[in-house]
């Protein structure tokens, strides 16, 4: 058994899926872990994520490998208990605007080269194989189907992880306000909540999503940030037969528990109004437009109504690759900042927790260290 590098007091700051997964993995490793979040669990970006589980398209070999391991951990979770209400692997279907399939063709050829399961379906193939999709929405060029992809409802996953975490002796501190990692003589010594209370720890993991770059700037560490503001719309139960995740030119849409649908789109993000005080405004026409685009791709073109929506920052590092590991020059200060938190949460949480407890860096994370950006 690997030796511990400290006596195991670790605080994870951030109550999204990355924080919950890391805290749970720390508890499995035997650490004395505390999960601290500014509000309630899943109240941030994890609560408004499409949470498509995938390694679609072209990316670095190391990033693709990490995502594939992430999918593996979800399949292990699915095989270990009844989680089918909020975790499904029914594939993903993607298509390009009519007459503009060149990029999708290149993606398809790349996925085939690296062994990622990808099939090119005609309109008739989609009608025969993919429930809940309107075949008329498929362009003449067809669509890419990835049978191994899926989706997860992140608040349900976070609740599942938190239950395991607490059962293993972990402590959850909700509504702590903005908490900061305390550093003394280039070493982590605690985590201080908004009330001024300080938890004494030997290591800390910062997993506060879009807040990470600013919080790291406070200790002199620069991480490039490409975080946009995103919008996720949820419908009431609609009785649609859709099972796969759809990524189409004007809307991405997936099923959700209880027969609801969730959807987002790049164009809808660009219509969000950001106020001078940092508030977000969403036009009624944007919400209506998303619902209309969703209706167009679903079989029977049902009228979709709005149940709720979430708007806020969606964490994306400046170079698009995950940022994971100990900060250079500060002992015990670890960070996670990444897009695709849903796909990566379980594997990153597992690998980083092991690093924290044993002090042994994982080669699977070597390409993603925060030190790659320099001083």
The Cα 314–Cα 52 span in angstroms is 14
Q: Which of 41, 36, 33 is nearest to 17 (CA)?
A: 41
Spatial CB neighbours of 189, under 8 Å, sequence gap ≥ 6:
182, 183, 200, 201
CATH code of 9-48+154-223+318-373, in short, is: 3.50.50.60
With left for phi above 0 and alpha for psi between -120 and 50, is residue 321 left, alpha or beta? Answer: beta
Rounded Cα distance, 174 and 35, in Å: 8
Task: Check residue 65 and give its pLDDT.
Answer: 98
Which pTM was predicted? 0.97
**Where do the structural domains in the chain lie, given as residue ranges?**
9-48+154-223+318-373, 92-147, 228-313
Q: Is the pLDDT of residue 276 over 90?
A: yes
CATH class of 228-313: alpha beta
In this prediction, residue 7 carries a pLDDT of 55
More confident residue, 65 or 80: 65
The percent of residues in the chain predicted with pLDDT above 70, rounded, is 98
Q: What is the per-residue pLDDT across 349-374, written as a single tens digit (0 to 9) for each? A: 999 999 999 999 999 999 999 999 98
- The answer to whether domain 9-48+154-223+318-373 and domain 228-313 are alike in fold is no
Q: Is the pLDDT of residue 1 over 50?
A: no
What DSSP designation does 247 have?
A: E
Q: CB within 8 A of 188, min separation 6: which ones? A: 181, 182, 201, 202, 203, 204, 330, 331, 332, 333
Give pLDDT tens digits for 80-130: 989 999 999 999 999 999 999 999 999 999 999 999 999 999 999 999 999
Q: List Cβ neighbours of 340 (8 Å cut-off, separation of 6 or more).
A: 67
CA atoms within 13 A of residue 265's CA, in its CB half-sphere: 19
Burial environment of residue 340 by CB neighbours within 10 A (0 to 12, 13 to 18, 19 or more): buried
pLDDT given for residue 285 in this prediction: 98
Task: Give the Cα separation of 93 and 147 in Å (integer).
Answer: 9
Q: Are strands 32-36 and 273-274 parallel, antiparallel or unpaired?
A: unpaired
Which residues are within 8 A (CB) of 254 and not within 5 positions of it... i.e. 6 or more apart?
Answer: 50, 51, 52, 151, 242, 244, 245, 246, 261, 262, 263
Q: What pLDDT was estimated at residue 374? A: 80
pLDDT band at 375 (very low <50, low <70, confident <90, very high): low
Question: How does residue 237 score in pLDDT terms, banded at 50, 70 and 90?
Answer: very high
- DSSP track, 323-355: EEEEPTTSBTEEEEE-S-HHHHHHHHHHHHHHH
Angle of CA points 118, 60, 345, to nearest 5°: 80
What pLDDT score does 372 carry? 95
Q: How far apart are CA 17 and CA 156, in angstroms?
A: 10
Report the mean per-residue pLDDT for the chain: 96
pLDDT tens across 256-270, in order? 999 999 999 999 999
pLDDT at position 170 over 70? yes
CA dist., res. 130 & res. 137, Å (int) = 13
């Amino acid at each position: 058994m690997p030796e511990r590098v400290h006596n195991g007091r670790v605080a994870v700051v951030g109550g999204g899926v990355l924080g919950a997964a890391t805290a749970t993995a720390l508890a499995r490793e035997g650490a004395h872990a505390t999960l601290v979040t500014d509000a309630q669990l899943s109240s941030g970006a994890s609560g408004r994520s499409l949470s498509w589980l995938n390694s679609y398209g072209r990316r670095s070999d190391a990033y693709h490998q990490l995502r594939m391991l992430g999918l593996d951990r979800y399949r292990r979770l699915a095989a270990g208990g009844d989680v089918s209400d909020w975790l499904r692997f029914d594939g993903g279907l993607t298509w390009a605007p009519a007459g503009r399939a060149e990029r999708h063709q290149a993606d398809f050829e790349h996925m085939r080269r690296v062994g990622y399961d990808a099939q090119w379906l005609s309109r008739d193939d989609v009608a025969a194989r993919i429930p809940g999709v309107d075949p008329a929405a498929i362009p003449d060029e067809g669509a890419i189907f990835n049978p191994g992809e899926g989706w997860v409802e992140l608040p349900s996953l976070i609740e599942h992880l938190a239950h395991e975490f607490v059962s293993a002796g972990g402590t959850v501190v909700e509504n702590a306000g903005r908490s900061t990692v305390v550093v003394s003589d280039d070493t982590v010594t605690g985590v201080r909540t908004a009330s001024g209370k300080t938890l004494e720890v030997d290591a800390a993991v910062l997993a506060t999503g879009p807040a990470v770059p600013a919080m790291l700037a406070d200790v002199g560490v620069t991480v490039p940030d490409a975080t946009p503001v995103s919008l996720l719309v949820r419908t009431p139960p609609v009785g649609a037969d859709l099972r796969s995740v759809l990524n189409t030119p004007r809307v991405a849409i997936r099923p959700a528990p209880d027969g609801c649908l969730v959807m987002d789109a790049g164009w809808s993000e660009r219509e969000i109004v950001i106020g001078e005080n940092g508030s977000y405004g969403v036009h009624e026409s944007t919400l209506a437009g998303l619902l209309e685009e969703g209706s167009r791709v679903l079989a029977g073109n049902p009228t979709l109504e709005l149940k709720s929506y979430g708007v806020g920052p969606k964490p994306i590092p400046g170079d698009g690759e995950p940022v994971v590991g100990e900060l250079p020059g500060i002992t015990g200060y670890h960070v996670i900042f990444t897009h695709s938190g849903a796909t990566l949460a379980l594997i990153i949480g597992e690998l980083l927790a092991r690093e924290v407890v044993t002090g042994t860096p994982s080669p699977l994370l070597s390409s993603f260290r925060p030190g790659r950006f320099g001083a």
